[in-house]
Amino acid sequence: IDWKTVKTYEDILYQKSDGIAKITINRPHKRNAFRPKTVFELYEAFWDAREDTSIGVVLFTGAGPHTDGKYAFCSGGDQSVRGQAGYVDDSGIPRLNVLDLQRLIRSMPKVVIALVAGYAIGGGHVLHLICDLTIAADNAIFGQTGPKVGSFDGGFGASYLARIVGQKKAREIWFLCRQYNAEQALEMGLVNTVVPVEQLETEGIQWAQEILEKSPIAIRCLKSAFNADCDGQAGLQELAGNATLLYYMTAEGAEGKQAFLEKRPPNFRDFPWLP
């Protein structure tokens, strides 16, 4: 596949090719931990992929291996910039801006696939979790560390994890802060499949290409339907937004707008009240 760089960033790589965007956290010396700048850059790239009508699937991954031979998807918030009220950016403002990124990934009407080689730990584990699909390399290691390092994610990190692996397992993952290998993750439904690490990107591209053969609106509505089951009124808003989008595409919806613009009463009499 012929990846073309979209824009050059400091902490991430952003490429596209043939309907697929690839976003890579590029801080392997920190096991791809994110600082506020990393998250701002990720947000911009994900937003661009969301807006690009030629893009249907985003592959989200971490650069590696590092010079010590180890791989990481992401090891969560960069603890070296953690201040009293969050992760401190270049202008001294403490932030938890990864929460904005989580919501963008979850709500964008494109399929986001996490490609996890090595560590997906802490806030990095939550990032793979909220992706639509996860393909794990055989060397992947999953886990939460919050209660060990003085942090926690009680949002998607807790409630959505419990939806995926069940309440008992989710509590075990958070309360004991153990690490789980790729096979264990597969067994608990945390990932979709496991492949040899050298095959990770190829497998991701294969899954993306299969998805790109499908109907964009069907996938879009399904994603928002899955979200609506968990996300309360925000989830319903997403699902209902798609209903409005589809309604605007009908002659019936267009008649209302046209009548208003032509300053005449609308004529809905020709449209059936379907059973």
Separation between Cα atoms, residue 48 and residue 52, nearest integer Å: 6
Report in angstroms the alpha-carbon separations of 44 from 4, 12, 38, 101, 122. 17, 11, 10, 9, 22
Pinpoint the alpha helices (H) of the chain. Answer: 36-51, 98-107, 123-130, 146-149, 156-165, 167-176, 182-187, 200-212, 216-230, 232-248, 251-261
Please say which residue, 130 or 205, places its beta carbon nearer to ligand 2NE.
130
DSSP 238: H
By CB under 6 A, tell whether 242 contacts ligand 2NE.
no
**Segment contacting ligand 2NE by CB under 6 A, of 71-79, 220-228, 229-237, 240-248:** 71-79
Determine which residue in the list 3, 18, 65, 79 makes contact with ligand 2NE, applying CB under 6 A. Answer: 79
By CB under 6 A, tell whether 149 contacts ligand 2NE.
yes
By CB under 6 A, tell whether 64 contacts ligand 2NE.
no
Q: In the complex, what is the shortest distance from the CB of residue 105 to ligand 2NE, in angstroms, rounded to a whole number?
A: 14
Tokens for 108, please give them.
């964008």
- In a 3-state reduction of DSSP, which class is residue 165? helix
By CB under 6 A, tell whether 181 contacts ligand 2NE.
no
By CB under 6 A, tell whether 95 contacts ligand 2NE.
no
Q: In the complex, what is the shortest distance from the CB of residue 179 to ligand 2NE, in angstroms, rounded to a whole number?
A: 7
Please say which residue, 121 or 133, places its beta carbon nearer to ligand 2NE.
121
Per DSSP, which regions of 26-95 are E strands? 57-62, 72-74, 87-88, 94-95
**Segment contacting ligand 2NE by CB under 6 A, of 4-12, 45-53, 56-64, 150-158:** 150-158
Separation between Cα atoms, residue 268 and residue 94, nearest integer Å: 54
Q: In the complex, what is the shortest distance from the CB of residue 250 to ligand 2NE, in angstroms, rounded to a whole number?
A: 43
Binding site residues, ligand 2NE, CB under 6 A: 30-31, 33, 70, 75-80, 96, 98, 119, 121-123, 145-146, 149, 151-153
